[in-house]
Amino acid sequence: MTRKTVVLFLGGEERADFTPVLGRPLGAYALESVCGIGPEAVLVLPAPGPTDLWDSLIASVGTEIPVFVLEGGRRRAAPGQAVFEALSTARSVLRKYPAGDVLVVPSSFPLVRGRTLKVVLRAHAARANSLTFLSAGGEEGGLTGILAFRSADVFPLLPGQVRAKSRSGFEGIARRLAEAGKRVGFVAAADLDEVLPARGAMGVSRAARLLRDRKNESLARRGVVLLDPDTAWIDWAAAVGPRTVIHPFVVVEGASRIGPDARIFPHVHIAGSTLGARVKVLTSTVMEDTVLEDDVQVGPFSRFRPKTRVCAGAKVGNFVEMKNTLFGPRSKAQHLSYVGDSQVGEDVNVGAGTITCNYDGVSKNPTRIEAGAFIGSGTELVAPVTVGRGAYVAAGSTITKDVAAGALAIARARQVEKPGWVLERVRARKKRGGGDRP
């Protein structure tokens, strides 16, 4: 931009502005585009209602542009009148910024791009306009509510427009400018999707779908293969490496990171997690605040709760749950196990049905399994407990004491068999008049 600009950002419906879409409030998308053009400042005029949520919305954009939320200025009014109410409120603040132009952008256009706003400002300056509208069809098609004006030409006309309680909005200002010999112009939107308003439930749903498409297209341009883009929901802040293949019905939330050459199978839900290169996540796996290092395979039907790290080359299989656990390189837990509050070394085998009994009813206790240990199926490890390096735990054991390195631990009752017990029980039952079952 060659001339200084201040942006007046008009909050819309409160529910729409703060509806989460792809991991951020819907209103943040238009605000990000506004900040991306590099204005002197952004003045936010919220719709009537509480303004405290705007701080988090602004923080989600992460801009260095000064953004100020003006309180108490907007009242409920007719659509045309509302913008004048907003301008009257902002006028005292705008005097602090000797800007040549004011750009007005409603928050209800989450799809508008910064480049489109720059086109409006360039045309506004090149044509020496006092007022320039962004239109939604043809040179003078439907007005969108996005516009630029020279403050020196428009602000003197505001008091009369407010007193007139006009419903015509800036069209009335445009007529008065034209009568005074000032230039009024129009810029047609090149992409009509950008000026589709997100008002009401249907409008928000449509905006969410189009933003999802925009995100998925950007990933595809970077070499990510989305086998069904219509069912992949990947948050705006998430990053995916090239050549990664994402199957249908995958959800990736938060600032998750997925490395290159990964494969994410259907119905996987990833939240706030980091996945390395060549990771394979099989069907219906759920993870939150988890790290999967390079060459890890997990799933299907695995669950990873916060503070879990699965180290390089490890495998975690179906119906395994982990929580607050470091699971060592090349270790395996392939079936039906719970591993919580644990440190597991490298090359450990955790047999099917293993449980770390980490909660004693008062506090959580740690389990430590050192490198090369073998945990037999159906084992219960009653924490706090340590299984030493290279130790073996026999299947079906309940381990309540530490196991020394290289030892075999067997902790189960001796099997007792009573020959003929069933037949004797049946006979006794018949004598009492019962049936044939023991």
**What would the CATH number be for the domain defined by 5-195?**
3.90.550.10
- Please give the CATH superfamily to which domain 222-409 belongs: Hexapeptide repeat proteins (2.160.10.10)
Structural contact between residues 225 and 246, judged by C-beta atoms closer than 8 angstroms:
yes
Burial of residue 297 (number of CB atoms within 10 Å: 0-12, 13-18, 19+)? buried
pLDDT per residue of the chain (438 residues) written in tens, 0 to 9: 456 888 888 887 767 899 999 999 999 999 999 999 999 889 898 876 667 788 889 999 989 998 988 865 454 444 455 666 667 777 777 777 666 799 999 999 999 999 999 999 999 999 999 999 999 875 445 788 899 999 888 888 776 665 555 545 677 888 888 888 999 999 999 999 999 989 889 999 999 999 999 999 999 999 999 999 999 999 999 999 999 999 999 999 999 999 999 999 999 999 999 999 999 999 999 999 999 999 999 999 999 999 999 999 999 999 999 999 999 999 999 999 999 999 999 999 999 999 999 999 999 999 999 999 999 999 999 999 999 999 999 999 999 999 999 999 999 988 899 999 999 988 888 887 766 665
Structural contact between residues 309 and 325, judged by C-beta atoms closer than 8 angstroms:
yes
State the virtual CA torsion across 404, 408, 412, 418 in degrees, nearest 10: -160
- Residue ranges of domains in the chain: 5-195, 222-409
| Torsion sign across C-alpha atoms 202, 203, 207, 210 | positive
Distance between CA atoms of residues 47 and 84, nearest Å: 13
pTM above 0.85, yes or no: yes
Active site residue 269: no
Q: Do domains 5-195 and 222-409 have the same CATH topology?
A: no
Q: What is the pLDDT of residues 188-240, one digit of tens each?
A: 999 999 999 898 899 999 999 999 999 999 999 999 999 999 999 999 999 99
Tell me, what's the pLDDT at 157?
A: 79
Structural contact between residues 277 and 262, judged by C-beta atoms closer than 8 angstroms:
yes
Q: What is the pLDDT of residues 37-83, one digit of tens each?
A: 999 889 898 876 667 788 889 999 989 998 988 865 454 444 455 66
